[in-house]
Structure 1
């Protein structure tokens, strides 16, 4: 059941906002690299993939004005945008998704230093899937074209992640940066 519902939700997101769907697919790919490096078992890998793929599914309920703006959000708009994780949690709870998936989605904007949202969790109290998705989410956001800015290069994004003291689980970030650096070097060698 979860697989069919996952695909349905992803295609609903694709129909609603193609850029968010592409971003979600990229986040899933990056999250899987961290999961593999951690040696997660096949069930955890499947659930991590679903959580990463659907991490922004709550955005289907947000107006275009928020999703496609090219300016900075007002305080009220920022609060509205932050509701996408609450919307996603309610949707996925009602569809019977496992708690690990829901928690990965709901908490992916928490910060390791406790300065994130929705609940201000910090450190290891943030579920593992959410800590993984947070890194993948920011990396893809930095390297993707947005209505308000051009994409950063891979190296620029790596530099931003390295400078983001306190935002991410440092162990997971190191794993991800090793993967990205290796992947980047391999890509350059093959050109």
Structure 2
């Protein structure tokens, strides 16, 4: 499946995990989760390109402003993004956003996790960015991906320190955000190729 636009993403509710369920079973992965959440990556882009819409003194929990100041509405919420995405054309029209959407449903954008990790990632104000989450939970990351799941191909994430804190991500300039998107797509494409090779080997043994 290749998404063509931000609009299509917000109207399509099938999860990446459900779309790839047959491949996940063949890989014998438990607790699968999307690697790079589009909603999280998109929210960071909206913050960078439309900084004036959000509260001051931002650390991680970004609140939307109105004429009276910061509201309770969070940027990361599905409600805010799904209702307001049409006004964020500077992000929507980026070729790199479209490139991310094109590969969003690839098996290269799924990762096996440990119990509770997929829920925890979504609630940790890390915008579901694996670079941030795996650094925060380095012990679990080392245990799970060093002993249980060896062929997950996340070296490009673990060895990259440009995007490993929310603070770093929110300070990106627009041109740096574009580079971040390019990096994400490269990770997905590289993992996709390696995982497809494993799946083809599995098919050959059936």
Q: TM-score, normalised by structure 2?
A: 0.26
Higher normalized contact order (CA 8 Å, seq sep 6+, divided by chain length): 2
Structure with greater strand percent:
2
Structure with greater helix percent:
1
Q: TM-score, normalised by structure 1?
A: 0.27
